[in-house]
Amino acid sequence: MTEIEADVLAANAEFYRAFSARDVAAMEAIWAVEAPVACTHPAWPVLRGRRDVLISWRGILENPEAPTVEVRDAVVHAAGDAAIVLCREIVNGSPLEATNVFVRERGAWRIAHHHASGVAPSARGARTTGGDTPSAFDQRN
Amino acid sequence: MTEIEADVLAANAEFYRAFSARDVAAMEAIWAVEAPVACTHPAWPVLRGRRDVLISWRGILENPEAPTVEVRDAVVHAAGDAAIVLCREIVNGSPLEATNVFVRERGAWRIAHHHASGVAPSARGARTTGGDTPSAFDQRN
């Protein structure tokens, strides 16, 4: 693992730590300030702009019934001053797939985009590499 | 709009042209060769690796009941040699949110990651900027 990959994975872990701990200040600190920010919560239209994205996270984290979240299988694809982390979230016991885009701002990796979406029960046992996926695309076919 | 943004939006348009035209060869040509590739289809686990991603697209495009797709509201966030396009897909009449990550390889912008997810009927009228989103997070709360 490169130093960049390790740094990006650490930023991704901090994002989920803030989420899990309902730490609003830490959540605000991890989002990019200079780069455009967006967020696609599960089953929801994309939110554009830092203000609205942070309002949404405040709403989630301050909710007394905020969900539990665990993160698994994070991998990072670095591309210059940007990097993508793909990971599996377990939110209140249900699997979600997440795409997190990080940018480097003044030496620190910050999240610029988060997109999470649920995995259908019928697809949860599917292999994600190495084979055909005949039942994968119910929503598209 | 910068030249980079225009080039990335053109690559994004080509991705959807290939999708809509069921053009398997064009779809294969638009995916990155050097960068790691991944794809999260709606409600499906992430697929990692160019081979499996292209198998999935071949399955979609060769299906006699392949869906129709339109794309709207594409915006690009450039970050060095990578760029994100956020756009709304209308697939068989239903709205999906898409995150498309492009990388520049030998001068050409190619897609390295696609993540699409449905928008719940209850959220389809929501404002995506400028306001609170009280009912946004049913799946998270």
pLDDT tens, chain A, 141 aa long:
899 999 999 999 999 999 999 999 999 999 999 999 999 999 999 999 999 999 999 999 999 998 999 999 999 999 888 999 999 999 999 999 999 999 999 999 999 999 999 999 988 877 655 433 433 344 453
For residue B62, give every residue at least 6 positions away whose Cβ sits within 8 Å of its Cβ, in sequence order, or none: B22, B24
C-alpha distance from B30 to closest chain A C-alpha (Å) = 17
Determine the Cα–Cα distance for residues A90 and A96; give it in Å rounded to an integer: 6
Binary contact (A43, B130; C-beta < 8 A): no
First to last CA, chain B: 38
C-alpha distance from A62 to closest chain B C-alpha (Å) = 10
Binary contact (B35, A79; C-beta < 8 A): yes
Q: Are strands A69-79 and A82-91 parallel, antiparallel or unpaired?
A: antiparallel
Determine the Cα–Cα distance for residues A38 and A41; give it in Å rounded to an integer: 10
Determine the Cα–Cα distance for residues A50 and A2; give it in Å rounded to an integer: 29
What is the predicted pLDDT for the residue at A139? 40
Task: Give the residue from A2, A20, A44 with the most B CB atoms within 10 Å of its CB, the best one to mutate.
Answer: A44
Residue B76 CB neighbour total at 10 angstroms: 23
Rounded to the nearest integer, the mean pLDDT of chain B is 89
pLDDT, tens digit, 9 for 90 and up, residues B30-40: 999 999 999 99
Binary contact (A44, B120; C-beta < 8 A): yes
What is the predicted pLDDT for the residue at B130? 41
What is the predicted pLDDT for the residue at B85? 98
Determine the Cα–Cα distance for residues A108 and B52; give it in Å rounded to an integer: 33
Tokens of A104: 């480097």
Q: Is A20 helix (H, G, I), strand (E, B) or coil?
A: helix
What is the predicted pLDDT for the residue at A27? 98
Per-residue pLDDT band at B138 (split at 50, 70, 90): very low
Name the nearest CA neighbour of A46 among A101, A104, A120: A101
First to last CA, chain A: 38
What is the predicted pLDDT for the residue at A19? 97
Mean pLDDT of B115-132: 76
Task: Give the residue from A62, A110, A139, A141 with the most B CB atoms within 10 Å of its CB, the best one to mutate.
Answer: A139
Q: Who has greater pLDDT, B132 or A21?
A: A21
What is the predicted pLDDT for the residue at B129? 52
Residues shown for chain B: 141
What is the predicted pLDDT for the residue at B132? 39
Per-residue pLDDT band at B137 (split at 50, 70, 90): very low
Instruction: Say what the pTM is.
Output: 0.90
Is pLDDT above 70 for B19? Answer: yes
pLDDT, tens digit, 9 for 90 and up, residues B81-109: 899 999 999 999 999 999 999 999 999 99
What is the predicted pLDDT for the residue at B133? 41
H/E stretch holding A59: helix A50-62
pLDDT, tens digit, 9 for 90 and up, residues B49-73: 999 999 999 999 999 998 999 999 9
C-alpha distance from A22 to closest chain B C-alpha (Å) = 12
